[in-house]
Amino acid sequence: MRQTAGAEVDLRKLDEREAPVMVTESPGPRSLETWAKETQYIGPGLSGSTLTSRLVLEEGYMSYLRDVDGNVYIDFSSGVVMTNPGHCHPKVVQALVKQTEKLMNVHDHAVPNRWALCKKLAEITPGRLKRTQLYSGGTETVEAAFRLAKSFTGGTEIVGFWNGFHGKSLGSMGVDGTGFSKGFGPLAPGYHRVPYPNAYRPVLGAPFKTDDYITFLDQYIDNCVVGKLAAVIAEPIQGAGGTVIPPDDFFPKLKALCERRECLLIIDEILTGFGRSGRMFAIEYSGIEPDILLMGKGMGCGFPVGALISRDEVIEAMPFAKPSGGSTSFGGNPMACAAALANIEALEEDGCIAHAAKVGAKMLERVSAMKDAHPLIGDVRGRGLLMTVELVKDRETKEQAKEEGKQVFLKMLNKGVLTITPAAKLRFAPPLCISETLMNKAIDIFDEALTEVETECGLR
């Protein structure tokens, strides 16, 4: 609803039938004023969502965000897929406040909640994964996983996938398949990228045949890997690449290939972990046990933390296991451990994961059904509360509707929904606590925004 500026809405008491609450155009005058001041001092290179929205956000609670003008949005971004149980979840806030008063950092000395966190991670991850090492974020965790895989196998080369994303450091850019690394070359030697199964944009013929693909991958390794292969790294569902979900038999067969080739399979759950997909970890859908599983983003409810988990014999490999070979200055600090532990407890106590599976399935059904009425929709992909709607100018050529996507993003924002990526691949990733009512309201707004853009483009 659009209100006149007045008393500030209490996010904790807001009746969801009233949400979103828009008191100005978005971005409003206060956002623009602060934005103009900040632009003089902050470096460039912020995300497309931030640069396009020019919002200045000051408060969040569960599924809501408020900007400095008092507009209250339904959040469809969770930061960038981070605040899984909800913004400023009371349990995580309390744990952080308590920990701040006690101890904030003692390098990698043991602290009581680190033990508790590592034990918990061993309990919630698949199979024999048991021993954790902690980091400050995703990319740092990816780099550590490469060091670990090289230590265990004695290999030097890594295979990643087209359209995959693992971070912005030199090693992780070596397996970047999104185009992010363009212009930052030369990349480190020893990194390879091969096609990922993509039903909407098949590059190796359709329908995708996993056995043929594995034959291709074997041949690729024979022809292109010149040293020993240390690992294959894959996202169980490609996140930044737009919620690309491989066929059910892909990971079991990829795991078998890795075993045959005596290299490790690293599963990057930095974006998909902690309930996002409707399971604690998305790889659970395949039934396989990775050699190394990576976590980040949704692990700390927005607090920076990352982790890898592996089995005993892998994580003890040298030189990863030598003193200081695995740790960092900030990795596993007591604050991060407090946030991560409370985050998992919040997800479990609130029943967020089953809820994400249920609300996500309804969202997918609803948006998929919108395809007939909306010529711009090319494809709808989702699992749990992770969804991408890919907009195309033409369903035959599949040319991406980039400008139209940006306009839909802006119109949704102005109507009170903040989503991710002002581009052809619109990504919806609300906090996992989102109610069905708020989800439906946000999808109503998406429907309206898309209709307006299609009308303006002469498509209806």
Ligand X SMILES: Cc1ncc(COP(=O)(O)O)c(C=O)c1O
Residue 269 or 379: the one with the smaller Cβ distance to ligand X is 269
Applying CB under 6 A, the residues found at the interface with ligand X are: 137-139, 142, 165-167, 235, 239-240, 268, 270-271, 296
Min. distance of Cβ 326 from ligand X in angstroms? 18
Backbone phi, psi, residue 53, to 5°: -80, -35
CA 324 to chain centre: 29
Residue 257 or 386: the one with the smaller Cβ distance to ligand X is 386
Residue nearest to ligand X (CB): 138
Min. distance of Cβ 297 from ligand X in angstroms? 6
Residue 297 or 411: the one with the smaller Cβ distance to ligand X is 297
Residue 176 or 404: the one with the smaller Cβ distance to ligand X is 176
* Phi-psi map region of 215: left, alpha, beta (phi>0 left; psi -120 to 50 alpha): alpha
Backbone phi, psi, residue 214, to 5°: -65, -35
Strands 377-383 and 131-135: unpaired
Closest CA to 249 of 275, 286, 201: 286
> SS in 3 state form for 367-432?
HHHCHHHCCCEEEEEEECCEEEEEEECCCCCCCECHHHHHHHHHHHHHCCEECECCCCEEEECCCC
Min. distance of Cβ 137 from ligand X in angstroms? 4
Residue 133 or 451: the one with the smaller Cβ distance to ligand X is 133
3-state secondary structure of 229: strand
Residue 31 or 172: the one with the smaller Cβ distance to ligand X is 172
Min. distance of Cβ 165 from ligand X in angstroms? 5
Output the CA torsion sign for 161, 163, 164, 166: positive
Residue 87 or 166: the one with the smaller Cβ distance to ligand X is 166
Encoded tokens for 319: 């030189």
Encoded tokens for 286: 């395949």
Residue reference for tokens 């948006």: 367
Min. distance of Cβ 346 from ligand X in angstroms? 20
Min. distance of Cβ 425 from ligand X in angstroms? 14
Min. distance of Cβ 306 from ligand X in angstroms? 6
